[in-house]
Amino acid sequence: MLAVLAAHAGLAVLAGLLAPRLGPRAFYVAALAPLSGVVLALAAAPDVLAGRAWGREVPWVPGLDLTVALRLDALSLLMLVLVSGVGTLIFLYCASYADRDSPLVRFAATLTAFAGAMVGLVLADDVILLYVFWEATTITSYLLVGLSDEDRTARRAAMQALLITTLGGLAMLLGLIVLAQQAGTTRLSEIVAEPPSGALVTAALLLVLLGALTKSAQVPFHPWLPAAMAAPTPVSAYLHAAAMVKAGVYLVARLAPGFAELSWWRPLLVSVGIATMLLGGWRSLRQHDLKSLMAYSTVSQLGFLTAVAAWGSAESAVAAALLLLAHGFAKAALFLTVGAVDHAAHTRDLRLLDGLGRRMPVLAVAATVAALSLGGVPLLLGFIAKEEVYTAFAEAEGTFATVALAGLVLGSVLTLGYAGRFLWGAFAGRPQPSGAEDLDAVPAGERAVAAQDVHAPGAGLVAPVVVLAAAAVALGVLPALLDPLVSAVAAPYPGAGEPVHLALWHGVTPALLLSVLTLALGVALVAARRRWGLLQRSVGRVLPQALDADRTYDAAVYGLDSAADVVTGRTQSGSLPRYLGVIALSATLLPLGGLALRGADLAPGVIVDRPVQIGVGVVIALAALAAARTSSRFAAVLMLGGVGYGVAALYVLQGAPDLALTQFLVETLSVVIFLLVLRLLPRRFPVQTRRSRLRRAAVAVTVGVGMTVLTLAATSVRVRPSVAEEFVARSKPEGGGLNVVNVILVDFRGLDTLGEITVVLIAALGMSSLVLTLRRGRPGADGPHDAVRREEPEVRAP
C-alpha cells in the first residue's frame, strides 16, 4: 500500500518532468499511478472479500503519537476501484484530450498527485492521516480547477471550492481530534467498532460531518461544485464525479456503522441528502451548458448517495455500495462524453448542438447506456442499485423512512428527466422552430452546430466512455458478480447476516412497482420537456433571490473582506508615534500587570558603586530631556546619540568591554543612519498641540517609571543561581575561549545568534525593498538612469 502511494508521488514528479518533452503523452506515463492502485485492489481483493482487511503501520511522528496507519477493507476496496479504476481510464483520456499549449506540467503532475491523495484518503485508518490526505485533495483540486489561471471565472471557482471545502476541512479536523480523544484512539476502525458517546461526541461528529457535507457539495454548500466546472473536463470527470466529491459520502459511510443509531443522525443527514437531490435535479433540468447540467446532476446524485449511505442499515449499505459504483461509472462516462463533444464541436451549449449523434454513433450509444444507467433503467447497473435503495427504505420501519422513500422516488424521476435531457441535448437534432415558446430553442443571433460541421472524436476520447458503459451493462446484467463485494461492505453493519444475492428479477415487489412508477414519470418528464421548462421558469421567478446559496457565499466573502478592512483601518493607522506608543506601553504595562498580581520586592540592592556613575547618569538624563525638548530633528538625533554613549560609558564602568564596544559602535552607526534619513525630512518637528504634548508626556512617564519598577523587581526575584557562573566556568574547557561573551554568542547560544543574524538579514532586505518600493511608487521622482544605478551600492570600500 505504501508502494502505491510512493508510486503516485514519484510519477507525479516524473510526469511533470516528462510533460515538456512528451506533451500530452506524459499522461500515459502518469496512468501507471492509478494502474498501480488497480493492481493493489486486485491483489488485495481475495483477502478483503473474505473479511480479512489489509493493514500497514509505520511510525510517523512517534513523539506526537502519529502513525501512518493504512487499512484496506471492503469499503476502501470499493472506493479504490472508483479512484484508481476510473482514474486509469481518465488518465488515458487526458492523453488525447489535453492540448499541447495547456499548462501540461502542472496538469499532469497535479492530477497524479491528486490521485495519490485520493488513494491515501480511502486507505487511511488514522484520523489525522485521513485529514492530511483530505486537505491534500482540497489543495490539488484548487490547483486543478484554477488550471487556466488567466481566466477570472476559473480563479473564482477555484477559490470558492477551496474556501468552502477548507472551512469544512478545518471543522473536520477539530471534530476528528475530539472524537479521537473521546474514543481514546486515533484509529478510525477502532472508533467505529466501539463508538464513544456523549454530548462532546455529538459535537465532534457534527463538525466531522460539516467536512463531509462541504466536500460532497450538499445543500447549502453545493454552489462550489457547478462553479468548479471551469476545470478541464477530464478533471471534472475525475474530481467532481468519480473521486473527490465521493470523499464526503465515503466518510459518512465509514462512520455510519458506529453512529447511525444516534437519534439525530438519520433525520439530519437523510434530509440534507434528499434536499440536495431534489435541488440538484431541479436546477439540472434548466441548464443549457451540458457540463453544468452534469454538475447539477452530480450534486443531485451526491445527495442521493449521502441519504442512502447515512441510513446505515445493512441493506442500505449494499445499496450505497452499488450506487457509488453505478454513479462513478455512469457520471465519469457522461463527463468524458461532454469533453469529447466539446472537443469536436467547440461548444457545450445544448441549444446549439444539432444532431451530433449521427456523426459520432459509438459515443452516442455508449453515452446513452451511461445516461440510462444513471436514470436507473433495467439491465444496467443503475437499475440494480436503485432497486436496492427502494428495497432498503421500503423495508425500514417508521414514518421517516416512508417520507424519505417518497423523496428518493421524486429525485429519481428528476434524474431520469435530466438524463434524457442530456441525451437529447448532446445528440438529437434540433426541433423545427414552431410558434410555441421553447426555452431550449437556438437563441437569436446564434447558429447551431450541425453534424456535418464537426469532426468525429478520436478513439482515445471514445474508448474510455465505451469501457465505462460496458462495465455498467455487464454488472447490470450479471449483478451477482458484485455479491462478494457488497456483502463484505455490509458486514460491519448491525443486522448483516447471510451474504447478499443481487439479481435482476426479485419478483413483483414494492421496489419494482416504485421503479415502474419512476420510469413512467421520468419518461413523461422527458416528453413534456418544453412545457416543464416554462413551468420551472415561472416557479423560479416566484422564489426569492435570498435563497440563492451562491449569493450568500458572495455576501459572506464580501463581508469578511470589509470586516478585515475595517479592523485593519482601525488598528493600522500608519502613524509611527502611535505604533511606538502602543508597543512601549504594552511592553511596560503587561509585565507590570503580572508583577502586580504576583507581588515583588522592590527594595533596591546596590544602586551606585562609584560616584562617577552618578555623573554619567546626570549626563544621560540631561541628554534625554534635551532630546525631548528640542524642536530640531538634527539636535534630537545628536542628543539621542549622547544618551547611547552615556549608557555605553556605564557599561565601561561596570567592566563589560564587549557590551560597551558594541554600544558605542551601534550608537555611532545609528546617528549616521538617522542623519541619512533626516535629509529627507523637514528640519523641524511639527508643532504639537498642548493635548498631544501632554499625551506623549504621559506615555513617556508611564514607560519610564514602569521600566524602573521592572528593573528593580528583576534584580530581586532571582530564585535560581545565575547561569553566568556556569558559563564562565565552562567557557575555557568547553568553548575553548577566554572571552566568555563571545563563547556564549558563537558556541553556547550559537543557535540564538544564527537566528539573530537571520533577523538582521531579513531586516536589511525589508528595508531595501521598502525604500525602493516607495521610490518606484512616485513617477517622475527618478529617471531611468537612476533605476540602473540603484543596483550598484554607492559605497566604495578599498
Give the orientation angle of helix 104-123 with respect to helix 127-145, to 10 degrees.
160
> Residue 184 — left, alpha, or beta (φ > 0 → left; ψ -120 to 50 → alpha)?
left
Cell reading at 497:
447476516
Q: Shortest approach of another protein to residue 787 CB, angstroms? A: 11
Residue closer to another protein, measured from CB, 725 or 792: 792
The single-letter code of the amino acid at 755 is G
Is-contact 73 122, C-beta < 8 A?
no
271, 302, 407, 495, 568 from 278: Cα distances, Å: 11, 11, 8, 30, 43
Q: Please, what is the minimum distance in Å from the beta carbon of residue 733 to another protein?
A: 5
Complex with another protein: residue 490 or 740, whichever CB lies closer: 740
Rounded to a whole number of angstroms, the minimum distance from the CB of residue 679 to another protein is: 5
User: Which grid cell sits at 18?
Assistant: 516528462
Rounded to a whole number of angstroms, the minimum distance from the CB of residue 655 to another protein is: 11
Question: At 313, is the secondary structure helix, strand, or coil?
Answer: coil
- At 125 the three-state DSSP class reads coil
Closest approach, Cβ 294 to another protein, in A, equals: 53
Length of the chain: 798
- Residue 479, preceding bond cis, omega within 30 degrees? no
Distance of alpha carbon 460 from alpha carbon 559, whole angstroms: 47
Binding site for another protein (CB under 8 A): 574-578, 657-658, 661-662, 665-666, 668-669, 672-673, 676-677, 679-682, 685-686, 732-739, 741-743, 745-747, 750-751, 753-754, 757-758, 760-761, 763-765, 767-768, 771-772, 774-775, 778, 781-782, 786, 790-798
Q: What residues contact 483, with CB distance under 8 A and at least 6 apart?
A: 499, 500, 501, 502
Q: What is the DSSP letter of 456?
A: P
- 551-560's contacts with Cβ under 8 Å and 24+ in sequence apart are 552/220, 553/160, 553/164, 553/223, 553/224, 557/163
Q: Provide the 8-state DSSP code for 68.
A: E
DSSP 351: T
- Closer by beta carbon to another protein, 190 or else 658: 658
Max CA pair span of the chain: 111
To which residue does cell 531586516 refer? 763
Q: Which residue has the cell 517622475?
A: 780
Q: How far is the CB of 688 from another protein (least distance, A)?
A: 8
Q: Enumerate the H helices of 607-689 as residue ranges.
A: 611-629, 633-653, 657-678
Look up residue 170 and give its three cell numbers.
478545518
Number of H helices, E strands in the chain: 33, 4
SS3 69: strand
What grid cell was written down for 303?
445527495
Nearest-Å Rg of the Cα atoms of the chain is 35
* Residue pair 118/83 in contact by the 8 Å Cβ criterion: yes
* Dist CA 583 CA 600 (whole Å): 24
Across 662-780, the runs of DSSP E, i.e. the strands, are none
Least CB distance from residue 623 to another protein, whole Å? Answer: 21
Spatial CA neighbour of 394 closest among 489, 497, 496, 319: 319
Give residue 198's region: left, alpha or beta (phi > 0; psi -120 to 50). Answer: left
How many other C-beta atoms are found inside a 10 Å radius of the C-beta of residue 572? 10
Q: Which is nearer to another protein, 595 or 746 (CB)?
A: 746
Distance, in Å, from the CA atom of 237 to the CA atom of 245, rounded to the nearest integer, reads 11
